[in-house]
Chains A and B, each alone.
Chain A
Amino acid sequence: MFHNLLPRLSRRKLLLFLIPAAAAFIAGCASNNPQDTFDTAGPVAEQQADLFKFIFWIAVVVFIIVEGGIIWITLKYRSRSDSDEMPVQTHGNTKLELTWTFIPTLIIIAIAIPTVIAIWDLAEAPADEPSMTVEAIGHQWWFEFRYPEEEVVTANELRVPVGKNVIVKLESQDVIHSFWVPKLFGKVDMVPNRDNELWFRADEPGVFYGQCAEFCGVAHGLMRFRVIAEPAEDYEAWVAGMQRPPAAPTGAAVDGQRLFGQHCSSCHTIDSYREGAYTSEISLQDGRWQGWLADIENASIVSAPNLTHFGTRLTIGAGIRDLDRQTLVEWIEDPGNLKPETRMEEHALVYKGGKANLTNDEIGAIADFLLSLRPVSADAEPTPTPVVSGDPVEVGQAVFVSNCASCHSTGSDSIVGPGLAGIAGRAPGGNADSYIKESIVEPGAIIADGYQNIMPSSFGSSLSTEQIAGLVAYLKTLN
């Protein structure tokens, strides 16, 4: 209808160029890109997209009038020869100018009203609808997800039930990141020292792409994640699974478990299914971070993604690749090949000098072990730690790798807790057996200088007598 405002001459030109351009814009937006902001799957993104479209169509009208006007004026009033008459020297027209001050004002008011309504609408999740809360923490360059109510910790893949409002508390451990899943919600920044939050709801199941949207350092471009929305019962099953242990490793994975314990477990927790593990993981993660900050140059421990039930993940490297054995092997061998300057490669001892100082077989074994980390089926007998009978030292070593190695090295390196080489010699009064046993069962009783009282006190009940005896026997062998 606005065409009528323009003379005949320009109308065809406008139709020829401008309408197809606008149509192409909308068509281009209706692609099936995984981060398409128009292909919305929830109310937040939908309201944001609707507002955009409303302004867009107003803009199209203005665009056609102005651009069409420019072309039309230029063609119509261009001088055809040097002898053209001098045009009338108009200086202005106050009425006209007031009119075109007034009209944009009206347009702006028309846009401002739905804008302000949407700002307040989207500020908080509707209070009368059921909701759940998760915490998302930005790290250089990955996302940590905590479910405080469910006591689940995971990384880079946020699982949520379809149809339920999710309130996300946004934090950052280091620099500013921004949390964004285009199909579900526009971004909100994760700012250190500032409590931000957003909310969203996925109205249909699916795997939605997310990506950090605030420049956060070298590997900003490779800081991605997924939101996995699934029907409520699948989600519940996943939460329950996260609280059961994995099946005992078999084949090469057994070796992988040992190697993981030696080289990876200082930074990556894999046993957050344990009772009380949620709290300890939070303090562990903080301990790793503080340790890194205290001595960035020499730190060999960094805060790192929790790998509990890693075998159930879809992606690796903060959502940058689909997870399969081949990619996992590549990643372990040389993470820098897939992502520059990861903290892992910069700091972990096993990467000293660049690539992993491991044989191909060893890397394969670690990959097999990680891929084997899936919860045992719900009706299986709970087996918190693999039971190996026989030589107590062997039993103890297995127990150590899966329970203790996240925080304690077998050398003199301090991780979160002290290194345990020569622990037997440190026993007050020389009674190594009772000293070590007491430290396991009642960790708060003796705290080494410079360490915090953060070791879980649940080992006395979660480990069998045979396991504790084995652990003591194993620890005594460390020199």
Chain B
Amino acid sequence: MTTTTLSIPRIWDRPKSEHGIWSWIGTVDHKRIGTLYLITSFIWLLIGGLEALLIRLQLATADSTLIGAETFNQLFTMHGTTMVFLVVMPLSAAFFNWLVPLQIGARDVAFPRMNALSYWLFLFGSILLNVGWFTGDSPNGGWFGYAPNSGITFNAGSGMTFWAIGLSILGVASIAAGLNFTVTIFNMRAPGMSLFKMPVFTWMTLITSILLVLAIPVIGVALIQIGVDRLYGTNFYNSLAGADPVLWQHMFWLFGHPEVYILILPAMGIVSEVLPTFSRKPLFGYEFVIYSGIGIAFLGWFVWAHHMFTVGLGPAATSAFAISTMAIAIPTGVKILNWMATMVRGSIKLTVPMLFSISFIAMFTIGGLSGVMHASAPSDAQQQDTYFVVAHFHYVLFGGAMMAIFSGMYFWWPKMNGYMLNEKIGYGVWFLLLLGFNLQFAPMHWLGMDGMPRRIFTYSSDQGWESLNLLASIGGFVIALGMLLFIYNIWYSRRPANRVEAGNDPWDARTLEWSISSPPPHYNFAEIPQVEYRDDFWYQKYPELLEHEDGHPAPSGAQDDAEAAESHEEDGHDGHGGHGIHLPDMSYYPIMAAAGTTIGMGGLMAGYWVIIVGGILGLWGIIGWSLEPVNDPDPEAEH
């Protein structure tokens, strides 16, 4: 590596500090970035939850005037947008960041500075999305932003413009992250770890990353179109000028349905790690689970119009999309049965993460069953846009994704932080969340079948929905209690007096991240591990189990090994033996590029001078970045 003579002047020195705020701002360490994702999206979870509570307060009684219609519409728009884009996606990203390099035996992701860029874009974009709460002009057209209601004629405020711009920025962050993890997983696996020896969570991350790279550009295009419609009076979705507003729906759901799998596949990855660990058995039908995941991701591209069964597609298209949607139930069902079979004849330890994972299967199944009801288009004509749908996707996204994320939190918290989360309090958190969740969302099935539409800010007592709504609202507060207890759990467990050290492997787990200290050192692995088996760490601990296989030897195909070793040599990553640990230096340029991008794009609404300021800052960040070597020349190094 030669020192570059080209560089633009630095105002600050390249960050070196390992402590304090600057160490976070300049970090490129995947673990720190994972922590930043975790904290940021947890705060958004609390805010999105608060929005949900206000919605539930308003709907607790008939003819309520607690919250005005406009505020209510802003609340449900931002609740949906927040929970999808600022909570479930980045919480998954937090786990990707923390775990993927550890699970594949790498020292960082493929593009560490781009990883930092993803995070900062996510942070700034999420703030931009929420600026409206301070200007009184929050997005109010629903998280789905249907045209022409989201167009300037019918929605003159600036809220939906903030929404389009904010989501575009988040989209850039997601595409960058998707590319980063795809490349990382393909190129940076430890020697011997062929694809079919990867942990399932890493597999699901790979599938999700590919989905992100393919799906986000679709919404990106649509957001740019609706953005310029609003800002510059173009007519992509302006029905008054003859546009077909259904085009927006096709674009949105062509992204939106793969997005559903972007939200749920990481969760499936988490439970696929937790269930085997606490059953003390390998995942049943690993290949079937992987292929089902791929199948779900693939089929996910052919079902988008099931969100549009009432828009008038005609019977032929409706039939096709009904059938393709039902087909997704098959790989999903396979996964559920495989998870159950993993537990059969296991030695099940009902730890907190295990309870959350079991709840995931139980609740996700309910969401899946109501999903099949929606797939049946004539039946869906009654359910579409009712509370039945609200129940359905909360069973998938809360009962599914969030339960799995809580499972993952309790499971990997000791690895990330070095101490255990108190188990007794954890049981309380699990109980309150599961109870509150069912109290809130089960009644919504009945409400939907009783004809209560979604997104109505009030209803009248003659419609007969009062008692079930009150029940649902009570459930919301039980969930809130569970969340508070979770925060208390963290606070309690980290106090020195209550601290229980985790050690390397508190759960007797199976994958590589448990082979190193908790929290892991900056460089992760002092020596890059050599992988022989799927769940390699497990068999290192219990080599005798290799002989007890019931006719199914732990896979160790020699051919795979050769392939993996070969691919490994090519990438020039430091090879076997682990001498010479090289980690990328910290950098301020990612945050600068992200800030410039956000200011520049936000400036589209504010004025040209803001665009110019943002543009200069952004370009400075990008050019500085491209001229900055990954590592500053180290006088002692010889390369």
The answer on A and B forming one complex is: yes
Residues of A in contact with B (beta carbons under 8 Å apart):
25, 28-29, 31-38, 45, 47-49, 51-52, 55-56, 59, 62-63, 66-67, 69-70, 73-74, 77-79, 84-93, 96-97, 100-101, 104-105, 108, 111-112, 115-116, 118-120, 122-123, 140, 170, 174-176, 178, 180, 182, 185-189, 191-194, 196, 209, 211-222, 293, 296, 320-321, 340-341
Indicate with 1 or 0, residue by residue over B449-470, a CB within 8 angstroms of chain A CB atoms: 1111111111110111100000
* Interface residue? B149 (CB, 8 A): yes
Is residue B556 within 8 Å, beta carbon to beta carbon, of the partner chain?
no
Residues on A with beta carbons closer than 8 Å to the beta carbon of B156: 296
Cross-chain contact B343 with A33 (CB below 8 angstroms): no
How far apart sit A62 and B372, CA to CA, in the bound complex (Å)? 12
Output the nearest chain A residue to B311 by Cβ-Cβ distance: A189
Contacting pair B245 A191 (CB below 8 A): yes
Q: Is the CB of B554 within 8 A of A91?
A: yes
Judging by beta carbons under 8 Å apart, are A100 and B334 in contact?
Answer: yes
Q: Give bound CA distance, A37 to B384, whole Å.
A: 12
CB distance from A194 to the nearest CB of B (A): 6
Chain B residues whose C-beta falls within 8 Å of the C-beta of A28 in the assembled complex: 446, 449
Task: For B361, give the chain A residue with the smallest CB separation.
Answer: A70
Most buried by A among B70, B153, B285: B285
Is B153 touching A35 in the complex (CB atoms < 8 A)?
no
Closest chain B CB from A76 CB (angstroms): 9
Whether A340 pairs with B382 at a CB distance below 8 angstroms is no
Name the A residues within 8 Å of B149 (CB-CB): 175-176, 215-217
B148 engages A192 (CB within 8 Å): yes
Between A and B, 5 residue pairs with Cβ closer than 8 Å are A25-B445, A47-B378, A112-B323, A115-B319, A215-B73
Given the interface contacts A77-B279, A112-B322, A120-B315, does A187 sit within 8 Å of B385 by beta carbon? Answer: yes
Does B362 lie within 8 Å of A37, measured CB to CB? no
B552 & A74 in contact (Cβ 8 Å cutoff): no
Q: Which residue of A lies closest to B542 (CB)?
A: A86
A341 and B69 contact, Cβ closer than 8 Å, known pairs A77-B346, A115-B377, A174-B154: yes
Q: Does B365 contact A (CB under 8 A)?
A: yes
Known contacts A66-B365, A191-B245; decide if A120 and B319 are in contact (CB<8 Å).
Answer: yes
Given A29-B446, A59-B369, A213-B384, A222 contacting B458 (CB threshold 8 A): yes
Please name all residues of chain A whose beta carbon is closer than 8 Å to the beta carbon of B345 when the two chains form the complex.
77, 87-88, 90
Q: Contact: A192 with B285, CB < 8 Å?
A: no
**B524 interface residue, CB < 8 Å from A?**
no
Q: A47-B378, A74-B358, A116-B323 are in contact. Are A175 and B73 (CB under 8 A)?
A: no
Minimum CB–CB distance from A291 to chain B (whole Å) comes to: 14
Question: Given A77-B343, A87-B347, are A189 and B451 neighbors across the interface (CB < 8 Å)?
Answer: no
Q: In the complex, are the beta carbons of B286 and A73 less than 8 A apart?
A: no
A111 / chain B contacts, CB cutoff of 8 Å: 326, 372, 375-376
Among A116, A196, A296, chain B packs the most CB atoms within 10 A around the CB of A116
A8 to chain B, nearest CB (A): 17
Which chain B residue lies CB-closest to A196?
B312
Q: Is the CB of B315 within 8 A of A119?
A: yes
Docked-complex contact A215 and B286, CB < 8 angstroms: no
Does A108 contact B464, Cβ atoms closer than 8 Å? no
Question: Which of A52, A120, A182, A320 contacts B451 (CB under 8 A)?
Answer: A182
Question: In the assembly, what is the distance between CA of A101 and CA of B549, in Å?
Answer: 25
Q: How far is the CA of A84 from the CA of B449 in the complex (A)?
A: 48
> Which stretch from B161-169, B235-243, B570-578 is at the chain A interface?
B235-243
Provide the bound-state CA to CA distance between A192 and B365, in Å: 38
Contacts of A194 in B (CB 8 A): 244, 246, 312
The answer to whether B282 touches A91 (Cβ under 8 A) is: yes
- Minimum CB–CB distance from B292 to chain A (whole Å) comes to 9
* Shortest beta-carbon distance from A321 to chain B in Å: 8
> Given A52-B382, A189-B310, A211-B451, A69–B245 Cβ distance below 8 Å?
no
Least distance between B447 CB and chain A CB atoms (Å): 9
Q: Are A86 and B286 in contact, with the CB atoms below 8 A?
A: no
Q: Told that A189-B310, A340-B70 touch, could you supply 11 new A-B pairs with CB distance under 8 A?
A: A59-B369, A66-B340, A74-B358, A86-B280, A87-B346, A91-B554, A118-B376, A191-B311, A218-B70, A220-B456, A222-B456
Q: Closest Cβ of chain A: how far from B455's Cβ, in Å? A: 4
> Which of B240, B282, B446, B554 is packed against the most chain A CB atoms within 10 Å?
B446
A79-B347, A188-B312, A193-B243 known; A66 vs B336 contact (CB < 8 Å): yes
B interface size (C-beta, 8 A): 103
The docked-state distance in angstroms from the alpha carbon of A178 to that of B383 is 13
Interchain CB contact under 8 A, B240 and A293: yes
* Nearest 7 Cβ contacts at the A-B interface: A186-B381, A35-B451, A221-B456, A92-B285, A192-B239, A196-B312, A182-B451
Measured in the bound complex, the distance between the Cα atoms of B333 and A122 in whole Å is 30
B374 to chain A, nearest CB (A): 10
Docked Cα-Cα span, A86 to B376, in Å, equals 45
Determine the distance from Cα of A90 to Cα of B554 in the docked complex, in whole angstroms: 10
Let me know if A193 and B310 touch, CB within 8 A.
no
Contact call A33/B463, Cβ cutoff below 8 A: yes
Write out the residue numbers on chain B whose beta carbons fall within 8 Å of the beta carbon of A34.
451, 462-464
Interface residue from B362, B380, B382 paired with A67 (Cβ < 8 Å): B362
Give residues of chain B (47-91) contacting chain A, Cβ–Cβ below 8 Å. Answer: 68-70, 73
In angstroms, how far is the closest chain A Cβ from the Cβ of B372?
A: 6
Please give, as numbers and ranges, the residues of chain A lying within 8 Å of B344 by CB-CB distance: 73, 77
* Residue of A52, A194, A209 most packed against chain B (CB within 10 A): A52
Residues of A within 8 A of B449 (CB): 28-29, 36-38, 52
Contact between chains at B340 and A36 (CB < 8 Å): no
Whether B341 sits at the interface, judged by CB under 8 Å, is yes
Q: For the complex, give the distance between the alpha carbons of A387 and B153 in Å.
A: 45
Q: Is the CB of A87 within 8 A of B372?
A: no
- Determine whether the beta carbon of A140 is less than 8 Å from that of B154: yes
Interface residues of B in 141-157 (CB under 8 A from A): 141-142, 146, 148-149, 153-156
Bound-state Cα–Cα, A336 to B577, Å:
75
Indicate which residue in A91, A100, A340 contacts B333 across the interface (CB closer than 8 Å).
Answer: A100
Complex CA gap A213/B464 in Å reads 17
Whether B327 is near chain A, meaning CB under 8 Å from some CB there, is yes
Interchain CA distance A193-B456 in the complex, whole Å: 25
Please give, as numbers and ranges, the residues of chain A lying within 8 Å of B250 by CB-CB distance. Answer: none
| Interface residue B260 (Cβ < 8 Å from any Cβ of A) | no
CB of A92 within 8 A of CB of B287, answer yes
- Is B146 in contact with A215, judged by CB distance below 8 angstroms? yes
Closest approach, in angstroms, between the C-beta of B529 and any C-beta of chain A?
Answer: 21
- Residues A191 and B552 in contact in the complex (CB < 8 Å), given A85-B347, A115-B376, A116-B322: no
| Contact A25 B341, CB 8 Å, known A59-B369, A67-B365 | no
Docked Cα-Cα span, A211 to B465, in Å, equals: 14
Whether, in the assembled complex, B494 has its beta carbon less than 8 Å from a beta carbon of chain A, the answer is: no
**Chain B residues near A48 (CB-CB < 8 A):** 378-379, 381-382
Q: Is B530 part of the contact surface with A, judged by Cβ < 8 Å? A: no
For the complex, give the distance between the alpha carbons of A48 and B380 in Å: 8
CB of B14 within 8 Å of the partner chain: no
- Shortest CB–CB separation between residue B124 and chain A, in angstroms? 28
Cβ-defined partner of B463 (8 Å) among A35, A115, A119, A123 = A35
Quick check: is B127 within 8 A (CB to CB) of the other chain? no
Residue in B closest to A322 when the chains form the complex, CB atoms: B462
A51 touches B552 (CB 8 A): no
- Residues of the B chain whose Cβ atoms lie less than 8 Å from the Cβ of A90: 281-282, 284, 341, 345, 550, 552
Contact at B384–A191, with CB atoms within 8 Å? no
Contact of B378 among A79, A119, A296 (CB under 8 A): A119
Contact present for A77 and B348 (CB under 8 Å): yes
With both beta carbons as reference points, the residue of chain A lying nearest to B322 in the complex is identified as: A115
Q: Measured between alpha carbons, how far is A293 from B242 in the docked complex, in Å?
A: 14
Q: How far is the CB of B324 from chain A (nearest CB, A)?
A: 10
CB distance from A94 to the nearest CB of B (A): 8
Contact B154 A217 (CB under 8 A): yes
Is A55 touching B379 in the complex (CB atoms < 8 A)? yes
The yes or no answer to B288 lying at the interface (CB within 8 A) is: yes
With an 8 A cutoff between CB atoms, is B224 at the interface? no
CB distance from A5 to the nearest CB of B (A): 13
**Partner of B285 from A29, A86, A97, A187 at Cβ < 8 Å:** A97
- Verify if B548 is at the interface (C-beta below 8 Å from A): yes
